[in-house]
Structure 1
């Protein structure tokens, strides 16, 4: 008989997002579909964050606050004329660079012996450091729990006053052990004794190097710990230590133009952090003071060289003026001439001072320095004013001009010599008592709490990182799987009508859990909860089945799929039940002789099954078993797995079995193996009138569905339709659901018959 294709009307689902677009619903579904993996990754990151917070060595931060007085001049007022020009005000950025300089950090390293790292070498594995940090008191030495006194449990201290090793031992470990109270010994890694002594004693010991014997030294100022405690010492070169400690040092201005510097140093030892930060502050203050003292010394040296020449010039100018007065018998001068004399003398004095300051500045700085440029600008202005006064003097009579010039020389030289002599005397005092323009406002104190790790920040970072990694992972898995999730997507890929969309059933999940918990067979959902949404979907499939069989040669219906775990057995069992309660005689055949599934729904006696019937050891009549449902019979897969299921299905006896069953029953429903793993389903499908492929949401991929249809078509099997199983409408934002169930007292089979009438 000729079969006619049936066109079905699809529900009005919203169109899915285009394949090249990223849908937020798809992203969310990738998370919910892999929520265990998603939560596991986040949990793993949180666990790592917790472990890090507990076991990571703490880092302590010590802070120092420094004030830089940008406008400070000499404390001696008589020096103001010279010091105002020689005082070099540094920008605060320059002060920050000085704090990070090798000169400052190197002095701090020498003061604190920070070039040598010290660690306790005999802690208890894993938990020893944690015990020493959390449970073990700092002082005195922590008692050993459970009598494990061969380990160090906290409170051990070692402080070096002097430790000098040859460069060949830089970066190599040496070990100092406590032999008795106040006594120690120093060994190499291989146990070779290098030195021994007492606390406070300076010990020199020879070390053989490639260049000869090196005289090494060590002095301990503090040593605490029970005998047997072992310290690991590692000394580094000054340069490498500076580079390492610079990374732990942070220097910055507190606020813009505040002249306040905040310095922070981080270390694993809180005492070392405070001591090293204070040592940097002390070295910086000392360097600043030495620099300003050197400025005063250079100024004094410069003035000392100029004073003899100025004195000689003063004496000569006085002699010239006296000779002129005697020769011209001039004693008094006019008021105008005296005013010009005073003005000219003042200008020449200022110009000379500027010249001296400019010469001193050039001796310290290059010609592009701001101070040099400022002095040059002052010199140009004074020269212009001197030219103006000189033009006024040229208008005087010759006698007054000569007198004015001679008198001016005397006045200027007298004032210059007197001022510079006084400043020279003041600079001698200033050189001995110079103070810097920086001061430490707050010295560092040993921090009580660790600056890092901070558990809230660590856990928040672990949560963010874990969520991000988990999100990326599940999205990659979702994209690689290419699972089908949307009904229209399924129909578009398969180009086959979609007969039913079976939603996810919470009731079926409950039945499966109860079956595993009680060790019983799985109850049919269609019988225990006939109003479940998934059963309603199968009823719609039952209503369209007779149209799918129009023109068919038989009434044999096959349910198969691409792989295992798609819900073929669930669909076959419940669909058969719905046909049976509708008054039709139904035979459901378990054709999966390799992995039987119908036996979980329909337990049968060990009278044989499909395998035995095809093998000819049991007749079909004896193998068919009744069920608890009227009109519903089952043919199990068999008592045991045959060695050749494919060969059995290819025998003529299988076709004969289907013809006999088709004649005896209104419908024959076959639950077959999957198509892709084995060839059994293709062989069975060639004997059936209607073939339905079960596709499961988030399980079946587009590639699997396409390959399944291609295999069946190559065997000249036409797929009648698709059953989309496990669909969660709310998850994809379709906005519809099944919010109803059967509440009538009318028997379900009567209600089903009435619907079809």
Structure 2
């Protein structure tokens, strides 16, 4: 009867959680790497190879640097308040200057001066090969020699510098082509390859070009052209906004060190000369704008003072007239010492307040309300008002005659000092307006770099090496986690709650026997127990033989089945050698090969000439006794699967004839060792296991994973089969590298 199973209702064999299962040791990580060493090496070497390839094909990027110094700015537009403003320390010298350097007002003149809106590239260069050849074969300021006489291609050193190039807006982003001719002559072609302009170096040529919206006008002037006749350059003009965005990303400005007043300006580009020219134009545009700004400040301050000076002159004359008139009327010549001190203090404070008020009026014309400079001067103005009120209180305590004299004398002194100071400032501003120099200067102009800034060979190689190692490490760890192969026998017992009766170590001798048998077309047996009885793998199977009575306790029949989750776990190896160990103890043993799809007993016994087997007996084509063959060892017989694969192996095993055959075998032999197909690919093993007295599940280290083993136990349990125990095969007790599983694949073949 065929057994149907439902995976959704299968009990899961699992143990209580163990914290040690979740621990990932360094040794486990190292095992994962060594078990996938070929994959690890392939990934790491591939990443490193990609890094080397990147070094060869990447376009070099050059960086040009310019150095700018920023002097401390004047605190006020009026020279009379320079000391007051410097005491305020409102701004650092670099505040705002970095933003100005990357502003549109600075970048736009630099773009226009360098023709940066036009992207220029060599058009007739062989991709990759031409660039590699040119990198190593181009001489300084010259053309690389054409290999093999291929002068129709560009091989390095070609150069085109434009003094002007402008096309209609409708053709922004479209490709134009400029071809070099003899003696500095050139020809410009539009996007369709139609010549639209011809000229020579230094000649500005206007041209008409067709657009999608009709004819448009353009202009071009070639400043420098280097290339063999026929050399071709691709020209693409972009809009100003796109160019501003692109060049702004390549430009970097930063203070060299904190509070150093020094700005480093760096420009990156594929063309080293363009990088240097653009950096220098940015620096010059910045200095020019700074000079214009300071000249404008001087001009506005001079205009303000020019309007105020006549009023101050008139006020000075009126104050002098009032003091003279008071002296004549009161006949007052001298004043007391206390009054003199108050007068000096009042004059000084009044002068300061007047200058602050004047500077506030001037700054209101240049800055918006809320500017830090305005707020600081307003705070100082309030402090001066309070000091003057204190002076007034002291003056009111004086006799009336001294009070009047002090006020009149104070007005004269203040107006005289103010008028004198402002006249001097006006003269200074006239000089400043005529020869303003600004407070920034270029210390170092950029020069065309000789070495590329990127890619950096050591950095890319180190990054490729360590990046490859890291990626390979992550991949193999992820693969190992997905595989989940079994390595620890204790973990297997906790996972399945089924005891392990034998831990069979991996045998190098068995590997050599199999290789020798393959070379000899399986004419020599690879049965390890008969070749090396002292091998550790055989010793482990002897322990299984010793404990067999415990596994058979309370069972009917003498049939012992060996199966596994998938192919390749070594169940046939275990069954064949275990049967041999039983036979040499004087027992009559039959090996029953029920794996009619992919028999593997021919590796261990001489079955090449066998034509009749289990399939023939179950089909009624042969008798049980006629199908049995000798193994070549006393007490050990074999019932092979048959020489041909039947169309319905599973149905044959479900027939009553199989139960009858197994009953007859139990009567004739002390033990019947059943080598069955794996459990997961086909249902044959579940059918056979129901008729056997003991069932052992064979799993293999580094091949079987936990999911496969648990599912195998569930299928057998659902079919009413009690698993007697497990055999853990291929165990590496001291090995540091492990392999990985193969999944559930099961195919027809001859090896196992």
Which bin holds the TM-score, normalised by the shorter protein? 0.7 to 0.9
- Residue 537 of structure 2 is aligned with which of 534, 538, 545? 534
> How far does the alpha carbon of each residue in 1:211-232 deviate from its partner, in whole angstroms, 9 at most, with x for none?
7754321111111122332222
> How far does the alpha carbon of each residue in 1:640-692 deviate from its partner, in whole angstroms, 9 at most, with x for none?
33334345445666556545554554433232222333343344334433322
- Residue 644 of structure 2 is aligned with which of 640, 644, 662? 640
In structure 2, distance between residues paired with 1:558 and 1:719: 10
Alpha-carbon shift at residue 204 of structure 1 (Å): 0.9
In structure 2, distance between residues paired with 1:386 and 1:679: 109
Alpha-carbon shift at residue 504 of structure 1 (Å): 3.0
Structure 1 pair 530–122 and aligned structure 2 pair: CA distance change class (3 A): farther
Question: Where in structure 2 are the equivalents of 1:3-402 lying within 5 Å?
Answer: 17-18=18-19, 21-24=22-25, 30-70=32-72, 80-84=79-83, 90-91=91-92, 92-137=94-139, 139-208=141-210, 214-320=216-322, 328=329, 330=331, 332-334=333-335, 336=337, 344-387=346-389
Match of residue 704 from structure 2 = 700
Contact between 2:190 and 2:209, CA under 8 Å: does it hold in 1? no
Helix, strand or coil for the counterpart of 1:222? strand
Helix, strand or coil for the counterpart of 2:370? coil
Contact between 1:16 and 1:489, CA under 8 Å: does it hold in 2? no
Contact between 1:17 and 1:23, CA under 8 Å: does it hold in 2? no
The structure whose RCO (Cα within 8 Å, separation 6+) is larger is 2
In structure 2, distance between residues paired with 1:560 and 1:519: 26
Unaligned regions of 5+ residues in structure 2, if any?
Answer: 1-14, 738-752
Structure 1 pair 690–406 and aligned structure 2 pair: CA distance change class (3 A): closer
Contact between 1:85 and 1:357, CA under 8 Å: does it hold in 2? no
Match of residue 604 from structure 1 = 607
Match of residue 589 from structure 2 = 586
Helix, strand or coil for the counterpart of 2:96? helix
Contact between 1:16 and 1:486, CA under 8 Å: does it hold in 2? no
In structure 2, distance between residues paired with 1:428 and 1:551: 121
Question: Where in structure 2 are the equivalents of 1:647-726 lying within 5 Å?
Answer: 647-650=651-654, 654=658, 657-658=661-662, 661-713=665-717, 715-726=719-730
1:445 aligns with 2:444: no
Helix, strand or coil for the counterpart of 2:641? coil
Unaligned regions of 5+ residues in structure 1, if any?
Answer: 1-13, 734-757
Alpha-carbon shift at residue 100 of structure 1 (Å): 1.8
Alpha-carbon shift at residue 383 of structure 1 (Å): 4.4
1:558 aligns with 2:564: no
Match of residue 750 from structure 1 = none
Helix, strand or coil for the counterpart of 1:93? coil
Question: Where in structure 2 are the equivalents of 1:502-521 lying within 5 Å?
Answer: 502-516=504-518
> How far does the alpha carbon of each residue in 1:339-370 deviate from its partner, in whole angstroms, 9 at most, with x for none?
66655545444443333223222222234333
Contact between 1:86 and 1:361, CA under 8 Å: does it hold in 2? no
Alpha-carbon shift at residue 115 of structure 1 (Å): 1.9
Structure 1 pair 682–213 and aligned structure 2 pair: CA distance change class (3 A): closer
Contact between 2:163 and 2:222, CA under 8 Å: does it hold in 1? yes
Structure 1 pair 260–127 and aligned structure 2 pair: CA distance change class (3 A): same
Alpha-carbon shift at residue 201 of structure 1 (Å): 1.1
Contact between 2:72 and 2:439, CA under 8 Å: does it hold in 1? yes
> How far does the alpha carbon of each residue in 1:443-462 deviate from its partner, in whole angstroms, 9 at most, with x for none?
32222222222344334444
Contact between 1:115 and 1:238, CA under 8 Å: does it hold in 2? yes
Alpha-carbon shift at residue 571 of structure 1 (Å): 0.9
Helix, strand or coil for the counterpart of 1:70? coil
Alpha-carbon shift at residue 621 of structure 1 (Å): 5.8
Alpha-carbon shift at residue 601 of structure 1 (Å): 2.2
In structure 1, distance between residues paired with 2:607 and 2:474: 48
> How far does the alpha carbon of each residue in 1:541-560 deviate from its partner, in whole angstroms, 9 at most, with x for none?
11122443456554332212
Helix, strand or coil for the counterpart of 1:584? coil
Structure 1 pair 522–56 and aligned structure 2 pair: CA distance change class (3 A): farther
Structure 1 pair 184–508 and aligned structure 2 pair: CA distance change class (3 A): farther
| TM-score (structure 2 length as normaliser) | 0.84
Structure 1 pair 265–704 and aligned structure 2 pair: CA distance change class (3 A): same
> How far does the alpha carbon of each residue in 1:304-330 deviate from its partner, in whole angstroms, 9 at most, with x for none?
2222333333444455556666x5495
1:574 aligns with 2:577: yes
In structure 2, distance between residues paired with 1:210 and 1:675: 72
How many residue pairs get aligned? The number is 716
**Which sits farther off after the overlay, 382-391 or 674-683?**
382-391
In structure 2, distance between residues paired with 1:136 and 1:182: 21
In structure 2, distance between residues paired with 1:392 and 1:247: 65
Helix, strand or coil for the counterpart of 2:109? helix
Alpha-carbon shift at residue 512 of structure 1 (Å): 3.9
In structure 2, distance between residues paired with 1:26 and 1:17: 17
In structure 2, distance between residues paired with 1:354 and 1:431: 23
